[in-house]
Amino acid sequence: MTASDPGAFSALLDGVVNFLINGVTGASWWQVVLIALVLTHVTIASVTIYLHRHSAHRALDLHPIAAHFFRFWLWMTTGMVTKEWTAIHRKHHAKCEQEGDPHSPHIFGIKKVFWEGAELYRAEAKNADTMARYGHNTPNDWIERNVYSRYSALGVSLMLILNVVLFGALGLMVWAIQMIWIPLTAAGIINGIGHWWGYRNFEAVDGSTNVSPWGIIIGGEELHNNHHTYPTSAKLSVKPYEFDIGWMYISILQSLGLATVKKVPPKMAFGDVKPVADEKTLEAIIANRYEVMAGYARELRVACKSELAALKARQADASVLKAAKRWLHRDDDKVPPAVKPQLAQARAEHPVLDKMVTMREELRALWSSTNATREQLAADLQAWCHRAEESGIAALRDFSIRLRSAHA
């Protein structure tokens, strides 16, 4: 081509401009947006299935082909190193909401964790003690040492180039979405909101919450209270109305022989009602203690509703009980100091609720006791059931009878 061939030069220039604008695919803007959402969803699935449930908690084993796909994908789309992510997450569970938790909103504040969660992650990744203590049993093969860990920024750089080649200028938008997706959803929403706001199925030892009952956008990680209750479970949904899309993907991988599930949430079994609770009953109750306490919380709510109805029928003031009802089933250390006076007043004014709260703590002592023998705990359980069934409180009686039908 020469300067005397302006038509060819113009055609070349048009081709270059068209490539820069549309890439090799020529996809429309809505198609690019759709593709970006699919790509980020694959990244979320990789985090929850590979990094979280497989690497950090060993809740499932992945076939080497599946594990390496996820590892490669995360290198390309996030630059995260398996050992770093795994170690930081394990430390989070070990130090949850205490000094040393790498990203607790109760330590750093919700705003910092939500907006700067990725920075907290990067800071903790430089902690050699964290890596040594919590980073065991993570990949250490040739490609990990010489590519994925050594050049963690190379993958996202290649992803940028690939996006621009495929989608032109819109590829920059796709790449930007990919880069903010995990810091926003995993670091911000799950690590922040998941320990700050939401509903709780179980009275886990920490303040974890379920952000949403339908775990789709963040791969099932929305069910964070369930996860902290059963951290080694490959399945995060526990209630009939909850949905964990990550578990759906794991089930598909397992059907294809690419995954082996090692553990799911325990499910309490019931049979014939025994004349008295025995050591087998005790074993079942301790193994399913979170589910037991969730069931007790339901009975407390029923009793509270009945008390509120009685107050309404008498046209009496129900404001104290309304303020206290959401805390009646909570462990004492989870009740805000400002609420405790109202809680004490509600218990003083409602003997039925006071009795149920007292017996809740006595029931919880069965698995929190550290010096009682198995025989003594079984005797304590028998005595608890007797008191519950002789209390004159229907909710307590029915709950105790159901406990006597539990078996491992």
346 and 286 inside one domain: yes
Domain count for the chain, please give it. Answer: 2
Q: In b/e form, how buried is each residue of 279-302, taking b as 16+ CB within 10 angstroms?
A: eebbbbbeebbbbbbbebbebbee
Residue 189 inside a domain? The answer is: yes
Q: What is the secondary structure of 47-64 as a DSSP string?
A: IIIIIIIIIIT-SEEE-H
201 and 231 inside one domain: yes
- Domain range for 299 is 270-407
Residue 316 inside a domain? The answer is: yes
Residue 197 inside a domain? The answer is: yes
341 Cβ neighbours under 8 A, 6+ residues apart: none
150 and 16 inside one domain: yes
Helix (H, G, I), strand (E, B), or coil: what is residue 259?
strand
72 and 137 inside one domain: yes
CB 81 within 8 A of CB 152: yes
Sort strands 243-244 and 214-215 into parallel, antiparallel or unpaired.
Answer: parallel
Among residues 402, 386, 398, 366, the alpha carbon closest in space to that of 274 is found at 402
72 and 14 inside one domain: yes
Question: Among the three residues 201, 232, 261, which one is the final residue of a domain in this structure?
Answer: 261
290 and 241 inside one domain: no
Sort strands 406-407 and 269-270 into parallel, antiparallel or unpaired.
Answer: antiparallel
Among residues 148, 172, 221, 198, the alpha carbon closest in space to that of 36 is found at 172
Q: Which residues pair with 210 in a beta bridge?
A: 199, 223
CB 382 within 8 A of CB 390: no
Among residues 42, 121, 48, the alpha carbon closest in space to that of 87 is found at 121
| CA atoms of 68 and 253, how far apart (whole Å) | 14
Residue 3 inside a domain? The answer is: no
pLDDT at 407: 85
Dihedral over Cα of 49, 55, 57, 58: its sign: positive
Dihedral over Cα of 371, 373, 377, 379: its sign: negative
175 and 275 inside one domain: no
Question: Among the three residues 261, 278, 295, which one is the final residue of a domain in this structure?
Answer: 261
pLDDT at 11: 66
Cα of first residue to Cα of last residue in the chain, in angstroms, is: 83
pLDDT at 3: 52
98 and 152 inside one domain: yes
pLDDT at 10: 65
234 and 297 inside one domain: no
Helix (H, G, I), strand (E, B), or coil: what is residue 17?
helix
| CA atoms of 168 and 162, how far apart (whole Å) | 9
359 and 296 inside one domain: yes
Residue 337 inside a domain? The answer is: yes
112 and 200 inside one domain: yes
The pLDDT profile of the chain, 408 residues, written as one tens digit per residue, is: 555 566 676 666 656 666 667 788 988 999 999 999 999 999 999 999 999 999 999 999 999 999 999 999 999 999 999 999 999 999 999 999 999 999 999 899 999 998 988 899 999 999 999 999 999 999 999 999 999 999 999 999 999 999 999 999 999 999 999 999 999 898 889 999 999 999 999 999 899 999 999 999 999 999 999 999 999 999 999 999 999 999 999 999 999 999 999 999 998 899 999 999 999 999 999 999 999 999 999 999 999 999 999 999 999 999 999 988 889 988 888 888 988 999 999 999 999 999 999 999 999 988 887 788 989 999 999 999 999 999 999 999 999 999 999 987
| CA atoms of 194 and 204, how far apart (whole Å) | 13
Contacts from 164-169 at CB under 8 Å and sequence distance 24+?
164/23, 165/23, 165/24, 166/23, 166/24, 166/25, 166/27, 167/22, 167/23, 167/25, 167/27, 167/32, 167/35, 168/19, 168/20, 168/21, 168/22, 168/23, 169/20, 169/21
165 and 29 inside one domain: yes
Question: Among the three residues 261, 294, 317, which one is the final residue of a domain in this structure?
Answer: 261
Residue 4 inside a domain? The answer is: no
Residue with tokens 């990680």: 221
Residue 1 inside a domain? The answer is: no
Residue 107 inside a domain? The answer is: yes
Torsions phi, psi of 370, nearest 5? Answer: -115, -10
| CA 360 vs CA 241, 292, 363, 376: distances in Å | 26, 10, 5, 18
